């Protein structure tokens, strides 16, 4: 049997290009590849979301902190492409008209991250959109299950931008076990530290139905992140990123205390790290300069919002190329894992 | 081809019990299964190390902070079993006679963690032992490569006990890429957050040659951890663990500042977290009580040294059972991953 199997595996590998990975996520979202792009504030516009969907995965526009004009422009920019829209829940909760506005565009899904999704679930479901909830531990997972989420995105601390303490490698299987017991119809997607086919294959091995990638799509041609920030990410190792609150103090954003943000550990972060009280005294006066430096693409005095996956980002290419190579690599890995099996 | 392959996969799955996972690690160490047990201070005695090796994996005695009598007793307890011995490098460096003593037992391998391995490599190699180096980032990986390590254990922040900031999911592929370029003959083993077949399959997908498991073997019948600590681990989620320095201050151990230790986030940790200076003032007077409470199996006033994998630890069984179920589960996952491939 082993010899014959081996023969067929080899034959099969010649046809590798014809294969795809089918999971509950590809079924639910009616997509080719079990990959979602993160709804990253200011980076995930309509262009990136549409490029991801057109590449066979599922793109999300980043509703961010809630700018109605930006949301309108970007949802329109995605045109008729099947996309979703993601919100920072606690920010959107202060202006729920934004959710209503997004739903008017008939998105396939709404993703809620960082805050209680339960008050918003009914409106989302009534509009016919799927509910995707990003969670970081058992507590937030339970809230998402209670909200009737269709998909839980289990986000590890490796992720760029906001998140919490748990790592993807342990969070995903623990949440899969929890969901299997409490809400077996709910899907689990892995996020945080995934940037290539290795991460996708690992996530599937952990029991996830797919992956959500942030940093990797943030550093693509279609991303609206500043080109100098993208280039910086290519140069960085995962060792160069750190979780911190300096950038939120700088911007004056009142994040709940359990959330920190992973960014490049640059001059700004090193200068204020562990000195929150001192920084707060100067932050307001420095704020205009911060936002200007951000717009200018400065990489040392603003948050360069990239995760530990930076060490696996080596080029800036179109989103479709990322999807294609991620699937091809995961395919190759799955074939290789099969070949490790040895009849003893 | 797909239909025939599917047929043979099914046939093959019926013979699953006959299969093993062969990697460069099983070859190098001449073992059946690509699994190593961590050399955990006070928990990894000769009994656990021997049980792991007898279960088809590779066991390591924990040399810890360097107690010569303990080391002698435990290396002897392992008898003629093919095992290795691990040291906390910076502690052993203050008393290198311990390394010489361990090498006299002709261990298959010496594992060095937390400190520069280069001063000790020559003695280890001259004694005919393999050199395994635990690393946590690119800097420590480079030192290990320079030392001529045979195996790099890339340890993520999920791990119980001491470690650094990087997570396993991103550290392993980044280090695999580094090693592929700079020292392709060197093996990479994943550690931190791995407690079952899901973690093993994920690690292999990331490019590792195998896994090192700590917490999961710490909570086995043969582990010398206190039974009350093991039982506590069964009750915990990964959410209940935290990186901290409280336990090192309590014990008076001078760890280099880059290393923190993950433990159960209990009353002791919550009381002193963020108050290192205050704790230092009281630590010496409290020390005797700390060690007594540890010996008594107190779980709220001492370090219960378990990692984020706690959420996947549901029973206390013999080490051999852990190995058997981990391999069986990884096998199943690899077969399942193969079945996700779909001819489009």
Q: Quickly state the pLDDT bin for A64 (edges 50, 70, 90).
A: confident
Give the closest-approach CA distance of B289 to chain A in angstroms: 31
pLDDT of A14 = 47
Give the B window 232-291 contacts with A, CB below 8 Å: 237-239, 242
Q: Which of A155, A170, A240 would best serve as a mutation to test chain B binding (most B beta carbons within 10 A)?
A: A170
Alpha carbon of B70: minimum distance to chain A alpha carbons (Å): 33
Query: What pLDDT shows up at residue B260?
Result: 98
Which tokens belong to B24? 């460069």
Q: What is the pLDDT of residue A16?
A: 46
pLDDT at position A341: 83
Percent of chain A with pLDDT over 90: 92
Q: Is 70 exceeded by the pLDDT of residue A159?
A: yes
Q: What tokens appear for A207 in the block?
A: 């029991």
For residues A44 and A61, is the Cβ–Cβ distance under 8 A? yes
B153: left (phi over 0), alpha (psi -120 to 50) or beta: beta
Evaluate if residue B294 carries a pLDDT over 90. Answer: yes
CA B17 to chain A, closest CA, distance in angstroms equals 9
Residues of A in contact with B215 (CB under 8 A): none
- Measured between beta carbons, which residues in chain A are less than 8 angstroms from residue B205? 198, 201-202, 204-205, 333-334, 337
> Does B308 contact A23 at a Cβ distance shorter than 8 Å?
no
Question: To the nearest whole angstrom, how far is the Cα of A132 from the nearest Cα of chain B?
Answer: 22
**pLDDT exceeds cutoff 70 at B74:** yes
A135, B191, B294 from B108: Cα distances, Å: 44, 20, 32
For residue B319, what are the CA distances in angstroms to B20, B48, B49, B167? Answer: 18, 7, 9, 25
Contact B8 A23 (CB under 8 A): no
Compare CB distances from B337 to A1, A169, A204 and report the shortest one's residue. A204
Is residue B327 within 8 A of residue B21, CB to CB? The reply is yes
What pLDDT sits at residue B20? 86
Q: What is the sign, positive or negative, of the torsion defined by CA atoms of A73, A76, A81, A86?
A: positive
Contact call for B169 and A166, based on CB within 8 A: no
For the segment A277-320, what is each residue's pLDDT rounded down to a tens digit? 999 999 999 999 999 999 999 999 999 999 999 999 999 999 99
Taking the CB of residue A23, how many other CB atoms lie within 10 A of it?
Answer: 17
According to DSSP, the residues that pair with A150 across neighbouring strands are none
Q: Do B167 and A334 touch (CB under 8 A)?
A: no
Q: How many CB atoms lie within 10 A of CB A117?
A: 27
Residue of B nearest to A307 (CA): B170
Nearest residue to B160 via CA among B242, B65, B267: B242
For A170, name the nearest residue in chain B, comparing CA atoms only. Answer: B193
- What does the mean pLDDT of chain A come to? 95
Chain A residue closest in CA terms to B243 = A165
Q: Which of A9, A202, A334 sits opposite B169 (nearest CB)?
A: A202
Measured between CA atoms, the residue of chain B closest to residue A209 is B340
Residue A1's pLDDT is 57
Residue A18: predicted pLDDT: 56
Tell me if A337 and B177 make a contact (CB, 8 A cut-off): no
Assigned token pair, A37 = 């792009």
Contact B340 A21 (CB under 8 A): yes
More confident position, B307 or A66: B307
Mean pLDDT (whole number) for B309-319:
98
Q: Is B30 on the interface with A (CB under 8 A)?
A: no
Question: CA-to-CA distance for A150 and B63, rounded, in angstroms?
Answer: 49
Residues of chain A numbered 175-194 and touching chain B (CB < 8 Å): 177, 192-194
User: Looking at this predicted complex, what is its ipTM?
Assistant: 0.94
User: Which of the four pLDDT bands, split at 50, 70 and 90, describes residue A8?
Assistant: low
**Closest CA in chain A for residue B198:** A206
Residue A244 banded pLDDT, cuts 50, 70, 90: very high
Say if residue B143's pLDDT is above 60. yes
Compute the nearest-CA separation of B103 from chain A (Å): 32
- Stretch among A267-271, B206-210, B339-343 having the lowest mean pLDDT: B339-343
pLDDT at residue A260, as a whole number: 98
Asked if A168 is an interface residue toward chain B (Cβ–Cβ < 8 A), one would say: yes
Give the model's pLDDT for residue B344. Answer: 53
Query: Among the residues of B189-245, which ranges form H helices?
Result: 197-206, 215-218, 227-235
Burial class of residue B281, CB neighbours in 10 A (0-12, 13-18, 19+): exposed
Residue A272 has what pLDDT?
98
Query: Between B15, B23, B157, which is nearest A1 by CB?
Result: B15
Residue B10 pLDDT more than 80?
no
């Amino acid at each position: 049997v082993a010899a014959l199997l081996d023969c067929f595996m080899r034959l099969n590998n010649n046809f590798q290009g014809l294969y795809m990975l089918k999971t509950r996520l590809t079924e639910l979202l009616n997509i080719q590849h079990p990959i979602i792009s993160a709804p990253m504030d200011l980076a995930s516009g309509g262009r990136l979301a549409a490029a991801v969907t057109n590449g066979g995965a599922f793109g999300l526009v980043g509703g961010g902190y809630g700018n109605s004009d930006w949301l309108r422009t970007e949802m329109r920019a995605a045109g008729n492409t099947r996309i979703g829209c993601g919100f920072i829940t606690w920010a959107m909760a202060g202006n729920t008209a934004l959710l209503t506005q997004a739903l008017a565009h008939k998105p396939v899904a709404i993703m809620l991250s960082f805050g209680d999704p339960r008050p918003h679930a009914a409106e989302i479901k009534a509009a016919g959109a799927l509910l995707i909830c990003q969670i970081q531990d058992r507590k937030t997972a339970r809230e998402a299950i209670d909200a009737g989420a269709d998909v839980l995105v289990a986000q590890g601390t490796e992720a760029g931008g906001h998140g919490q303490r748990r790592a993807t490698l342990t969070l995903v299987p623990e949440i899969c076990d929890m969901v299997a017991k409490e809400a077996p119809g709910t899907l689990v997607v892995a996020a945080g530290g995934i940037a290539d086919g290795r991460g996708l294959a690992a996530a599937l091995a952990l029991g996830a139905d797919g992956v959500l990638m942030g940093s990797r799509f943030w550093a693509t041609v279609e991303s609206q992140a500043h080109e100098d920030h993208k280039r910086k990410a290519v140069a960085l190792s995962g060792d160069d990123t750190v979780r911190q609150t300096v950038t939120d103090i700088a911007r004056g954003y009142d994040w709940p205390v359990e959330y920190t943000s992973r960014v490049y550990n640059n001059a700004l972060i090193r200068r204020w790290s562990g000195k929150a009280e001192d920084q707060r005294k100067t932050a307001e006066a420095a704020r205009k300069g911060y936002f200007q430096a951000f717009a200018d693409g400065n990489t040392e005095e603003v948050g360069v919002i990239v995760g530990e996956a930076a060490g696996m980002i080596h080029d800036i290419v179109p989103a479709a190329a990322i999807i294609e190579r991620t699937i091809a690599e995961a395919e190759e890995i799955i074939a290789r894992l099969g070949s490790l099996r040895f009849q003893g």
